[in-house]
Amino acid sequence: MAEFTLDLNDDQKQVRDWLHGFAADVIRPAASEWDEREETPWPVIQEAAKVGIYSLDFYAQQFFDPTGLGIPMAMEELFWGDAGIALSIVGTGLAAVGVLANGTEEQIGTWIPQMYGDANDVKVAAFCSSEPDAGSDVASMRTRAVYDEAKDEWVLNGTKTWATNGGIANVHVVVAVVDPDLGSKGHASFIVPPATPGLSQGQKFKKHGIRASHTAEVVLEDVRVPGHCLLGGKEKLDERLARARERAKAGGERVKNAAMATFEASRPAVGAMAVGTARAAYEVALDYAKTRSQFGRPIIDNQGIAFQLADMRTRIDAARLLVWRASWMATTGKPFTSAEGSMSKLYASETAKSVTAQALQILGGNGFTREYPVERMHRDAAIYTIFEGTSEIQRLVIARTLSGMPIR
């Protein structure tokens, strides 16, 4: 088991510096353009694929880093470059985590490579869980998957929303209800292969922030997928449902939910994204405060500005520590007995909102214009307290874990 350390090893430092260079040289110069265009930045994704950042091998190396710090380190550097473009680069990872969390070895080996494609033919993937009436309330999910035993096929019907890469993905991972009587315990995840009839893109959303990331509805109308596209396989599903029915009768322990398994694994990574955005805004504000003069001296000479910057940096470092702790715990198999994953996501998300707002205030009128990047960073930061579990849901998870009570 890897010991927890705050010192990156030489290999990690090399990867960090490489990612930082890509973020500085490729992502940042393109950030404003793709934010304005509100389109998927395919040329940037292609560049990331060419150098090996957008690839299964790269994410596998970071995912299996024995210290657990590979993924959060990568997320922080890329999102330091720009949140919208970075999300387009890493968005496929959520679908990949969905397969890793719930799939068999054969499914992992078959489908994850198809999510990325290669440098000459880049692909993306989408994880589809949220619905118009079921976001945080996964028990209200309406998308149904019905098994056609005669054909060994699953038939999916429903509408998903807020899907990153939804409709443009090569592979979609869809969470659906297989047993409505079991609530959230009656869910399963399915692979929808490329060009499957019945799957279409619904509304594409025009967003407040992360505009370079494609977000849309996914409509499923009698979508038929082969039996082997059920993640984990039918035998495992039948066993899990049987246990859930027995425990429901006895009022027993919780059974793992397919969507929640994915979110639990990805929450510290989202926290790292928020840390990257916060750090970027802080650095802009710090440089501005040191060079902007008012009343004959740099504005950082004023305690009102200097103390804000001190608080901003303190919160960023604290958020990173929570993210690294949760990532190390997850990798080394230590249980989140105090909801440490949710803690990291909650604090880092709130930090990103707070720090980007303070950065905008420090820049004053300039911060409110698109001539400076903090305006975009401030808009981007709003998403962190919303997606993959709102801050309110994180607090609920933490409170329930600490108290053992069914707090509502």
How would you classify the pairing of strands 125-128 and 171-177?
parallel
How would you classify the pairing of strands 117-118 and 121-122?
antiparallel
Is the torsion defined by CA of 92, 345, 263, 142 positive or negative?
Answer: negative
Is the torsion defined by CA of 335, 177, 164, 90 positive or negative?
Answer: positive
In 16-43, which positions are buried (b, 16+ CB within 10 angstroms) versus exposed (e)?
A: beebeebbeebbbebbeebbeebebbee
H-type alpha helices, 91-159? 92-102, 105-116
388 classed as catalytic: yes
Element containing residue 159 per DSSP (H, E): strand 153-164
Active-site option among 221, 375, 388, 392:
388
Please, is 396 exposed, middle or buried when counting C-beta atoms within 10 Å of its C-beta (0-12, 13-18, 19+)?
Answer: middle
Q: What is the rounded distance in angstroms from the CA atom of residue 208 to the CA atom of residue 377?
A: 11
Q: What are the catalytic residues?
A: 388
